[in-house]
A and B are shown apart, each in its own frame.
Chain A
């Protein structure tokens, strides 16, 4: 396409995209109105001119249609990006001709309008699955579909009126676009935002089911079983999204860390905390019919936190390296949050008698109380992070000046909370439901306690002694994390070994086969233990941060530096160029004990379209530590390159821990098999109850 002629020709794809968004809005409104009307008629046993069941079916199909329309809009935007259609203002602002095709695709979420379109796409996509699988429970699915349509209407209103992605650029047509933000031109950025959004948006589904179940006074707890997989998949996406964001921050931002308590990082962490609490506490509702009010509010709050997260990320309320858009849509989100809170509160007040617990907490030393503590601790963490994140906004509102809460505030509170959670991770599974006797505690806690004490003694023997100097005082948390981690891993291993022992007695298989069968028989429980193991490994990685070292210096050819046993020698500086960016490289030979390990090449890039620079960090990763080198630029006075070196212990444990978390969640998602068809072997004279619980 000749850019000079763009204004003279029609814009078929932007027109089609805009039309699709309008169609999706109309269909979502229809789903909401027809769904609400027919559900009201069914609840009041009233019949209109059209049978409510038939009206409900058209509402369901309109919901499916809204997904197809949003797909049309998303395809139109991606098409515009790939064909360099700079007549679309969004494409002009966020892409350029030389941009790599993968990043052209990621332009879909690099700006505000596109990311809202991604929200709508995923929301209607989740809605599509829900509406197609409505036979799981037709009535409850209809309530959830209608509530979801309400959320769709909000996002489609935004896309049609407040932040339209297909606005046509007015003025002389540029030959090239402004280009994508350099920080986003990194492979993980192609998958990190969609993962995070899949997590954010996914919580809409359990929220819709919970609110629907409350509205219709759904008898029993089956709605939890119906939404369990939705919640777990969503939690998994959010976890992956957060961890990919951590890795991106580590590899691109060049400050040597992976988590800086940035407002946007916090925004993604908040729903993760409440979502994790929800995943644990619903087990109490399923097993014992307890904590119904708590659970309903946990999922309401989780959904509202996802909306708040999107508001913080996209509205420019808080300043962050992760916030790639600033605009005035904050008032829309605030209004939506208020409406959501009012609807939730109103429904709760109206139906709260439906949420009476069937059982009470019988003992403070029980599995139930450990879940309760787990929830309280997660909520305390959530409140702390929320307070620290919103404090600058609140202080500006009250005092007129912005007071920012830095990483020390978050670390001071979050680290002890995290350690207590780690402790509960180990304790919870060892306690019995209802109440645990002293004898039982002695039986189950001896080995983990020995592991904790043993690990602490060994670590102190290796020199981890927080009392030796004021600088080493922070190591107390690392010592606690390593020791508690050893205790939790011992507890998890004991659970696997004991369980495998029972299966082995029943089936006469070897230990490994018995363990596999054990996991297959109760995927949820043992998948959960694998997740816990991953969390412990992750905590060990985080605890390594207490021993970080760093150095910054100017380095000419042949200069060398020693960092934690590594010797780095500057071999040369070189340059490279492609149509999108120019690169300066530093080539550093890395040796250890006189042997060459590898060559590191930290980069500094200059992007032509946006006229900005960014760094690509060079990392040599081992299980013990990461050697991390940043090319910071050149000293303006001497012209010499400045390099920064970090030695970050145990960072790779974080990524390994995340891999275990993912594996455990996937295991928990697999349906369990029933134990060994025991029911077919039962004797005719054996009581039915005996058979059922075997």
Chain B
């Protein structure tokens, strides 16, 4: 009885595994542009955090200006590369 139940379960599982999939989900390979967009979003997130913390009074003006400039440089480099790729 136990073996019979196991056999039925096996057949059901095999049918599920090898049932033809008419619309297989295909994923294209990740490109450099995809990667740069992720990096750009991360830098924007860092800028948002910096702005927020500055508004909250955590950093003095000089620290904020230096950090913001550094992050904007990083964003600009990424945007420039993205621009080159998309041309």
Contact = CB atoms under 8 A, between A and B. Distances in A.
A436 to B, nearest CB: 7
B72 A68 contact: no
Given A65-B16, A221-B38, A689-B75, A443 B3 contact: no
B24 A54 contact: yes
Contacts of B26: 53, 138
A62 interface: yes
Interface stretch (A8-16, A172-180, A256-264): A8-16
Nearest to A31: B17
A219 interface: yes
11 contacts: A15-B1, A17-B2, A19-B6, A23-B13, A54-B24, A65-B16, A138-B27, A433-B46, A440-B58, A502-B55, A689-B72
Interface of B: 1-3, 5-6, 9-10, 13, 16-18, 21, 24-27, 29-30, 32, 34-35, 38-39, 42, 44-53, 55-60, 62-63, 67, 70, 72, 75
B42 A20 contact: no
Contacts, number: 132
Nearest to B60: A439
B6 A444 contact: no
Contact of A694 (B27, B45, B51): B51
B6 A15 contact: yes
Contacts of A68: 9, 13
A65 B11 CA distance: 11
B63 A437 contact: yes
B2 A19 contact: yes
Contacts of A58: 17-18
Nearest to A141: B27
A57 interface: yes
Interface string A193-237: 000000000000000000000000011111000000000000000
Mostly, the A contact residues are: helix
A16 B9 CA distance: 10
Given A61-B17, A692-B44, A693-B47, A19 B63 contact: no
A502 B55 CA distance: 6
A694 B50 CA distance: 10
A222 B41 CA distance: 11
A589 interface: no
Contact of A20 (B6, B44, B46, B70): B6
B60 A12 contact: no
A418 interface: no
Given A15-B1, A221-B38, A498-B57, 16 more contacts: A14-B2, A16-B5, A53-B24, A53-B26, A57-B21, A57-B24, A65-B17, A138-B27, A220-B35, A432-B63, A433-B50, A443-B58, A499-B56, A501-B56, A689-B72, A692-B47
B9 A72 contact: yes
Contacts of B58: 430, 432, 440, 443-444, 498
B2 A54 contact: no
A689 B58 CA distance: 23
A507 B51 CA distance: 17
Given A440-B60, A693-B47, A135 B10 contact: no
A79 to B, nearest CB: 11
